[in-house]
Structure 1
């Protein structure tokens, strides 16, 4: 399997698993920062177990820890904690919009600092995917009397929540951007450090805002640990692999598939309604994301043929 195929396939599975966050969270009676900490901790334990089984633990001590490795994990943990806190102090629409600005932010950073070129077609597809995301999550909706309605509203009362939401988006974008550094580090080792420093960052956050487990019952613990395995270890490990093999813009185009999966679960399992505009948004997200996959794979296959022809 070539690197692009591996990158796209792992990103699709990761985004799909991420879309199940809402399903798990609705069955867990605790705050989101505890959920985020569990995802990081379970992920670190699972990766460590794999390294022990493969006898690769010495790689952890031999890997040079640089600021980008430490910061990428910390940004991942803090962006998840900040997002949950944002939903408590501002509207859900604002919080969701701000965290999903992360992939676009990472694309801009990669273009500036890593000199990753963004083709005109990829830019168009990313714009279509982002617009579709706004339709799916309800930021842009349609009302028969008012027409198109944008539900975002920033005010002094929601300032703290909006800043936390902005921090979650910046943190998510920085995580995706920093993951493009240090390609010499293997994906399993990088995943371990992401989980480790993400858990440490949230642990520091707990000192400022202590969590509560008073309402946790047996069912909640089962759901929490399952979420830590599937959407912590599974989804975030695959995201680390994808980030190593895809450019930031390619990663961003596919990442928004998460919103479509989340909306689909809400419709199928919780009888949530689907508007025409949301359906159009889903088509834009899937079409744009899959379009980028097809284009990326075609370019990858054309390069060896061109090189052979020139030779």
Structure 2
């Protein structure tokens, strides 16, 4: 499997798992920072155990810890904590929209600091999935009386939640951006340090505001640990692998698949429904994200075929 195929494959699975966050979170009776801390901690323990079993722990010792390694993990942990907390203080639409400004931030930062070129086609696909995301979460809506409306607002009542949502978006964008540095670090080691420094960053927040576990029952603990394994260890490890093999814009396109998975779970398991605009949004997200993959694969096949004909 070539590096691009590996990057796209791991990113698709990661986005699908991340789309299951709502399913797990609705069954856990605690705050968002506790959920995020558990995801980071379980992820760190699992990847360390896996590396020990494979005899790769020497890779951890050999890794030079730099500011970007620490920053990527810290940004990932804090953005996840801020996102879940944001849903408790503002509307879900605002929270989801604001965290998904992250890939846009990372694409702009990568273009400025890493000199990554954004083709017109990639920019068009990124725009398509972004607009599709707005349709799905209801930021852009339509009614016979009001016509096409944009519902994002920063009211006094939602200010704290909106600021947390914006922080989660910035944190996610910075994580994607910092992940493009130090590509010399193995995926296993990078995953471990992402989990570790993510947990440490959230742990520092616990010192300022201690968490409450008073409402946690047996069912909540089972859901919490399961979430830590599947959406912590599984999804974020795959995201780390993808970030090593894909450009920021490519990651951005495919990451929006998460909104489609989340909407599908809502329909199948919670009796939620999609409006016409949300359905169109889903098509835009899938078409934009998959379009990046299909076009990349097609170019490689054409190039390979031309190379074979020349020889």
Provide TM-score, normalisation by structure 2.
0.96
Q: Distance in 1 between matches of 2:97 and 2:238?
A: 24
Matches within 5 A, 1:222-261: 222-261=222-261
Shift of 1:166: 1.2
Conserved 8 A contact 2:266-2:272:
yes
Q: String of CA shifts for 1:256-307, please: whole Å, max 9, x gaps.
A: 0000000010011110021111100000000111111101222333444556
Is 1:127 the counterpart of 2:127 in the alignment? yes
1:57-108 per-residue CA deviation (whole Å, 9 max, x = no partner) reads 1111111011111100000000111122322333322221110100111111
Q: Give the root-mean-square deviation of aligned CA atoms.
A: 1.4
Aligned position for 1:174 = 174
Q: Which moved more, 1:296-305 or 1:15-24?
A: 296-305
Match of 2:284?
Answer: 284
Alignment correspondent of 2:25: 25
Please name the residue that 1:114 is paired with: 114
Q: CA deviation at 1:309?
A: 6.4
On the 8 A contact 1:254/1:290 being kept in 2, the answer is: yes
Gaps of 5+ in 1: none
Kept in 2, the 8 Å contact 1:4–1:300? The answer is: no
Contact 2:176 2:248 (8 Å CA) reproduced = yes
Residue 99, structure 1, aligned to residue 88, structure 2: no
Q: Any gaps of 5 or more consecutive residues in structure 2?
A: none
* Residue pair 1:41, 1:195 contacting (<8 A) in 2 also: yes
Moved more, 121-130 or 155-164: 155-164
Q: Which secondary structure state, in structure 2, belongs to the residue aligned with residue 89 of structure 1?
A: coil
Contact 1:70/1:193 (<8 A) preserved: yes
- Quote how far apart the aligned CAs of 1:26 are: 0.7
CA distance in 1, matches of 2:88, 2:275: 26
Q: Is the 8 A contact 2:68 2:181 kept in 1?
A: yes
- Tell me the matched-pair count: 311
Aligned to 2:213: 213
CA drift of 1:215 comes to: 0.9
